[in-house]
A and B are shown apart, each in its own frame.
Chain A
Amino acid sequence: MATINPPKPKRRALSTGQWLMVLFLLVFTLVYMVPFFGAIITSFRTMDDMSLNGFWSLPREITISNYVEAIQRSGVTGFLGNSFIITLPALTGTIFLSSLSAYALARHRFAGNKFIYFMYVAGTMLPFQILLLPVFMLSNNLCLQEAYELGQFVLNIPFVDAKVCLYNSYLGVIMIHIAFQMGFCTFVLRNFMRSIPGEIMDAARIDGANEFGIYWRIVMPLTLPGIAAVSTLEFTWIFNDYIWALILLSDGSKFPVTQGLSNLQGQFTTNWPLITAGALVATLPTLIVFFALQRYFIGGLTLGGVK
C-alpha cells in the first residue's frame, strides 16, 4: 500500500471539539499514569505516614532513605549487574546470528528459503510454555562433565567434582534468549535487508568481494537503522525476562533484577516505600534506553507488527 504523507497543515486555532479532545487526553493520560507516579511518590515517603494517613494525604515527611536502604540492603545493584551480564551477550548473539540468517534469507535464492523463513516467523508467536520443560532438561544435560573427566585423566589435574552444566549458568539463560528472540529478529532484519537495492551488492561482487565481505561491509552498515530498532526492543524484552531465569537459575547470587525484585517483596513484605524504591531503581536501565532511543523503540514495534 502506498504511504501518503501529506504536508503537515499549519496549526490553526483549535475548535471547541478539539479542545475537548485535548482535555480528555490530558485527564486520561494523567489518570493512566497514577500507578507509576504513585509508585514514585510512595518511594519517597514512609510507611508509617501512609498507614496512618492514607496514600492520598499530604506527605508529613519526604525521605530518600528508602533508596539508600534498597541499594544497600536488598542487593538490587548486584541483581542489576546480573541482568546486564545476561542481556548484553544475549542481545549481541541474537542480533549477530539473526543478521546472518536474515542476509541469506533476504538476498539468496535457495531450496528451503521460504520454509525456513516461515519457521522463524511462526516462532515469534510461540508461547514459551511449550519449550519450558525440554529446555530445562536440556540445560541439565548439556554438561562439561565428560570434558572434566578427560582433563582429570590426561593431565591429572584435580578438577572440581561438581558437574558443570548449562543449568544455573548465565550461558544457559543467554542461549535460550538468543534462540527464542531469533525468530523476531530474523523476521524484521530479513525484511529490512530486502529493501536494500541489489545493484550495490552486484557491484561489490563484480569488484571481487566475497559473500561474507558483502554481508559485513555493505549489507550490515545499510541495515543499521533496522538493527537499532530491534536492539532497543530486544534489550528491554531480554532485560525484563522473568520466567527463563526462574527456570534455569537456582543460585540467588546469579538472579537478574526481575527475580531479585520478586524476592524483595517476600523480604520486606509490608514496607512498600522500600519495595517501590527498589522497583524504580530496577527499571531505570530500560527507562533510560526507552527515553534515549524512543524513536527506534517505537519504530521497531511497528516494523515487527505492521508492515
Chain B
Amino acid sequence: MAIAGNRKINKQKTNRTPYYFIIGPLLIYFVWIIGPVFYTFYLSMTDWDGISPTAEFIGIENFQKLFGSIGKVLPSAFEYSLYNNLLWLFVFITVPTAIGLGLAILLNQGLPGERMFKVGIFLPQVLSFAVIALIWAWVYNPRAGILNSALLALGWPADNLPGWLADKELAIWSIIFAASWRQIGYIMILYVAGLKNVPPTLIEAAEVDGATPWQRFWRITFPLLAPVTTIVIVISVIDSLRAFDLVQIMTRGGPANSTSVLANLMYIQSFNNYKFGLGAATAVVLFSISLVFIIIYLWRVMQDELEY
C-alpha cells in the first residue's frame, strides 16, 4: 500500500484525546492477549491440574519432563509433536513458497484465463480447516476414497493400497499435504502482489543486455522480492506452528501419536489429563520457536516505519 509521505501528524498542546481512543481497545487487548501470554509462562512453572484452588511452584520441572522424554526407545508424544511441528515448518517454508512463487510468475505474464486460475488455486484458502479436514479425510479414505480408487483404476494391486491417514509413516505427510493445499493460494497471492512492484523496465533492460530468463529471475526478480519472501516465510512458520484443527479432526494425533503436534499435545495434556502446568510448558516451547520469527517480522515492520 502506498502511504503518502506526509510526516504531518496533528500536534495539539494538551493531547489527552488519543488516549480516549486507545484506552478501551487496549484494555481488552491486555486482559485477553498480553496478560495471558505472561500468565502461561507462570503456569508453565507450576504443577496446576486445572481444578485445585492452589498450585505449587515447581520451577523448570515441567520443561525437564518434556525434554527428558526425548530420545527414549519409544518416542514420547512430545518428541513426536516437536518433530512433526518442525517437519511441518520445514515443508511449509519450502514447498508452498516455491510453488506459490512459481505460480505467481506464470500468472504475471498476462496469459488468458489468469483470473480463473488464480481463483481456483486460491479457493481452498476460503474453506475452514474443518471442511478441509473432512474433504481430505474422504480423499484419503483407504477403501472407496478419491485417491485410492484412482490408484485402483490405474492398476495398483488392491491388497497393497496405502493406508494414508491410518499408516503410521504416511499420516503426518498426508496431513501436511492437505495443509499445503490450503497454503499455496495464499503465498501465490502475496507474490502476485509483490511482482507488481518489480518494474518491468528493469527486466526488459536485462533482456536487452542478453540475460537469460534464469539469470533475470535470480539476479533481478528474486532479490527485489526479498521483502515479500521475508513475510511469506514468517507467515508460513507461524501457520505451521498454529496447526491444530486438521490434526484434531483428521486423526486426533494418531495412529500411536505419529501425527501429534504441540498444539494437540497441549490440548490433551490440559483438557484430557488435567495437567495445566505441563500443557502451559508445551505452549511455551512452541511460543519460543515462534518468537524468533515474530521478532523478524517486527523488525521488518519497524524498518518500514523508519522510511517515513
Contact = CB atoms under 8 A, between A and B. Distances in A.
Interface of A: 1-6, 8-9, 11, 14, 18, 21-22, 24-26, 28-29, 32-36, 38-39, 42, 47, 50-51, 54-57, 97-98, 100-101, 103-105, 107-110, 113-114, 116, 118-123, 125-135, 137-138, 175-176, 178-180, 182-183, 186-187, 191-192, 194-195, 197-198, 201-202, 205, 211, 215, 236, 239-243, 246-247, 257-259, 261-262, 264-265, 272, 275-276, 279-280, 282-283, 286-287, 290, 294, 297-298, 301-303, 305-307
B133 interface: yes
Given A129-B242, A261-B130, 18 more contacts: A18-B111, A32-B120, A35-B139, A100-B22, A126-B294, A129-B283, A130-B283, A132-B270, A133-B283, A134-B39, A138-B36, A178-B28, A197-B6, A240-B130, A258-B128, A258-B131, A261-B131, A283-B127
Interface of A is mostly: helix
B130 A179 contact: no
Nearest to B283: A129
A18 B113 CA distance: 12
B88 interface: no
Interface stretch (B71-79, B144-152, B167-175): B144-152
B287 A306 contact: no
Contacts of A258: 128-131, 245
B200 interface: yes
Interface string B101-128: 0010011011111001101111110111
A104 B17 CA distance: 8
Interface in B26-68: 26, 28-29, 31-37, 39-40, 43
Given A36-B124, A191-B1, A290-B126, A130 B286 contact: yes
Contact of B120 (A29, A110, A123, A176): A29
Given A119-B34, A261-B131, A109 B298 contact: no
A202 B130 contact: no
Interface of B: 1-4, 6, 8-12, 15, 17-22, 24-26, 28-29, 31-37, 39-40, 43, 103, 106-107, 109-113, 116-117, 119-124, 126-131, 133-139, 141, 143-146, 149-150, 152-153, 181, 186, 189-190, 193-194, 196-197, 199-201, 227-228, 231-232, 234-235, 238, 241-242, 244-245, 248-249, 262-263, 266-267, 270-271, 276, 279-280, 282-284, 286-287, 290, 293-294, 297-298, 301-302, 304-305
Contacts of B139: 35, 38
A54 B128 contact: no
B266 A132 contact: yes
Contacts of A33: 120, 123
Contacts of A239: 128
A130 B18 contact: no
Contacts, number: 335
A1 B22 contact: no
B111 A55 contact: no
Given A114-B305, A129-B287, A283 B128 contact: yes
Contact of A127 (B113, B149, B287): B287
Contacts of B145: 55
Contact of B190 (A22, A32, A101, A302): A302
A306 B29 CA distance: 24
6 closest residue pairs by CB, A with B: A179-B32, A240-B128, A134-B36, A54-B149, A104-B21, A108-B18
B279 to A, nearest CB: 6
Nearest to A118: B298
Contact of B4 (A5, A130, A195, A211): A195
A37 to B, nearest CB: 10
Contact of B36 (A109, A131, A205): A131
B10 A305 contact: no
Contacts of A56: 146, 149-150, 153
A272 B40 contact: no
Nearest to B7: A198
Nearest to A282: B131
Contacts of B11: 109
Nearest to A266: B249
Contacts of B284: 130
B293 A100 contact: no
Contacts of A240: 127-130
Contacts of B186: 301
